Structure 1
Amino acid sequence: MVRRAMTLIVAAVLLVGLTVAALAVPVPYVVASPGLALNTLGELDGEEVIQVEGRPVYEHDGALSMVTVQYAGGPDSRMNLFTALSAWVSPSQAVLPEEAIFPPDTSAEEVSQTQAAQMDRSQDAAVAAALGELGIDYETAAVIHTVSEDHPAHGLLSPGDVVVEVDGEPVADKDEVVAAVKDRTPGDPVRFLVERDGEKQEVEVATVGSENGDPVVGVTVETDMTFPFEVEISVGRVGGPSAGMMFALGIMDRLDPEGLTGGHRIAGTGTIDPEGNVGGVSGVPQKMVSAEREGAEYFLVAEESCDQTFESAVTGRIEVVRVATLHEAVEALEAIREGDTDALPRC
């Protein structure tokens, strides 16, 4: 009997030890948690989040808050199984495969750099969308960003070239250049009029077929935007494109004598493009929690992300409003200001 008891005790100790050891093993998962909620109409570290120079600006009550997700884990700091399991049962956290945030063969530093670049582009797009919604003109130009070494454009076109015309037709942005090149058969030449170092020159480049059969010359083009006044957005180390819509609304509020919120506290998430289209984002459940903790009354979400929302995040007092464009977001805010919320589009 003593030997049997000792055997059971040893087995139990080993089982506990193995369980503890298993829970301490690093696992390739990432935990998403509610992150920062930042009022774009307010300040961060004593500095206005949105600063405008060269144009009259206004201050209003209320809030237009961007909301974020914070991530724990990753290839450089993997969490253990116990932490992952604890997050799995948490109502405000989500456990994701590591590759969902950190693509294979990509370091945490590279991911951070990508997110910083996305943030910069989203801010430019937000300014463009806000000015477009307000009817304020700005200038655009199609600028060559990269040139592929194994395509016909190599040695003929260079990064930084401003494309002025394609086959004699003026072009002003990336989309117009892409459309002009695609309107031909692979093998046909394309005549580019470019501005380089302050001088214009014409360059003829042959086309080749891409993997999907479209004609290409081997360049990437970006739209460079020049605004009639300066807009600076400061959000610290936050990265990614998902605050674009809220940046655009914040800029509009600063430029509008009447303001957009009517004193209400609004939060939201969604990307923006220069035309004002609002795109879907990830991490919406965690962002809803951040919004409610911030005291938001309404949560604007991209129509594409409606399937991520839920009825009650923390207090159940937040109303979710879906939008597909910046114009729809502005209309929703107008309805909220006027107290006419019955017809608000909801997820």
Structure 2
Amino acid sequence: MNKQRKLRKLPAGIGGMWKWPVCAAIIMTLLLYVPTPFAAYEPGIAISTKPLVQAVAPDSPGEGTFLLTTVKLTYANFWMAIRSAWDHNIELFMKKDLLKGKTAGEYQQRLSVVMLGSQTDALEAAYRKAGIPYKIAPYALVVSEAGPGGNAAGSRGLLTGDELIEVGGVAAGSMSELIESLDGLKPGQEIDASVVRNGKQVTVHIRPQQPADMAGSAADQAAAALGVKQLTELRHVVPDDSTRSVAIDAEGIGGPSAGLMFALQALDELTSGDLTGGYKVAGTGTIDPEGRVGAIGGVGHKVVAADRAGAELFLVPERNAAEAAGKAREIGSEIKVIPVATLDDGVLALKRT
């Protein structure tokens, strides 16, 4: 007969000894690593604009500093979602509401393209304020938002971030060239478009509509013709006097909200004296070529970032001023919140401080 092997019993307490560590590991995995449907905004960092704005003939360095402020975007885990109940510096959103049907990559691509356009607007506003003659030179035409537009079928070929080279065999590196390349095409006619995508030149197939059949600006019509939501013409601002050239290099920073601070830093380089007045000046706000300052999101988080960086002044769009001042009071900050509607307002406020 085969002898039955006797099962050895574990000493009392050994089985239970592993139960709590295993449970703790499972809970930690759920809290830290399992995806949630939430995205979270938190205070980012405040970055000096001086190294990002390069002038051929820079003004003498002043004692103060201009700081752009950022918001940190993360895809929240369950622990962050729970912490948001008592941590007022965590602001939760549904991912789907933030991305609006885009992938995370498309969302970041769009922010990058928008930032490039914002930099041009900031430089143009600074040249206007400084009274320096300049010209605008388009250098690229980029899909800043793909997706269904005037011709949903056409959107299958073009993606956010694509830089147009040719459409139908005709150069399309600027808005005027694109409109010319689309002229005379029959609606629904399939053509090839050559684009730069992720650093490589590729060919995609599209079926443009006739821009003339649609309402809106020439840019809106061109975007709709290609089946995309938005096109952005990237431009260089070229001063008549090349010694007054200024460029912005802010790779890795997305969105348009640093426009005001870039304009102030560029203006400081183009004019004599210290525009900061010796202060550490943080701020936020979009800007257009005429110097008008526009509202932004996440201003409370940017106030926190500015305060952590030791900023003394915070320039903010008028529409965001009440929220910014409220956040400063909430965190007990002594930072002075200054509402501005234009670049002129910002310059005047700094001179008065």
TM-score normalised according to structure 1 size: 0.66
Q: CA deviation at 1:259?
A: 1.6
Partner residue, 1:79: 77
Partner residue, 2:120: 124
Letter of the aligned partner of 2:83 in structure 1?
S
Preserved CA contact (<8 Å) 1:37 1:66: yes
Q: Secondary structure at the match of 1:274?
A: coil
Letter of the aligned partner of 2:349 in structure 1?
A
Partner residue, 1:159: 172
Partner residue, 1:186: none
Letter of the aligned partner of 2:67 in structure 1?
S
Q: CA deviation at 1:157?
A: 7.2
Change (3 A) 1:240 1:88: farther
Q: 1:227 aligns with which of 227, 238, 263?
A: 238
Change (3 A) 1:104 1:256: same
1:7-156 matched pairs, under 5 angstroms: 20=27, 26-41=35-50, 48-53=51-56, 55-73=57-75, 79-80=77-78, 82-107=79-104, 109-140=105-136, 145=141
Q: 2:279 aligns with which of 264, 274, 280?
A: 264
Q: Deviations over 1:105-142 (max 9, x none)?
A: 413x2222222222222111111111111111111257
4+ runs deviating over 6 angstroms: 146-150, 211-215
Change (3 A) 1:163 1:142: farther
Unaligned residue ranges in structure 1 (runs of 5+):
1-12, 42-47, 167-205, 337-347
Q: 2:336 aligns with which of 313, 319, 325?
A: 319
Letter of the aligned partner of 2:45 in structure 1?
L
The count of aligned residue pairs is: 270
Q: 2:296 aligns with which of 281, 287, 294?
A: 281
Q: CA deviation at 1:271?
A: 0.9
Q: CA deviation at 1:334?
A: 1.2
Q: Secondary structure at the match of 1:312?
A: helix
Preserved CA contact (<8 Å) 1:292 1:315: no
Preserved CA contact (<8 Å) 1:289 1:313: no
**Distance in 1 between residues matched to 2:286 and 2:221, nearest whole Å:** 28
Letter of the aligned partner of 1:116 in structure 2?
S
Partner residue, 1:341: none
Change (3 A) 1:320 1:56: closer
Q: CA deviation at 1:260?
A: 0.9
Residue 214 of structure 2 is aligned to residue 210 of structure 1: yes
Unaligned residue ranges in structure 2 (runs of 5+):
1-19, 144-150, 155-166, 180-209
Q: CA deviation at 1:99?
A: 2.8
TM-score normalised according to structure 2 size: 0.65
**Distance in 2 between residues matched to 1:79 and 1:50, nearest whole Å:** 36
Q: CA deviation at 1:163?
A: 4.3
Whose helix fraction is larger, Structure 1's or Structure 2's?
A: 2
**Distance in 2 between residues matched to 1:101 and 1:221, nearest whole Å:** 21
Q: Secondary structure at the match of 2:331?
A: coil
Partner residue, 2:164: none
Q: CA deviation at 1:85?
A: 1.7
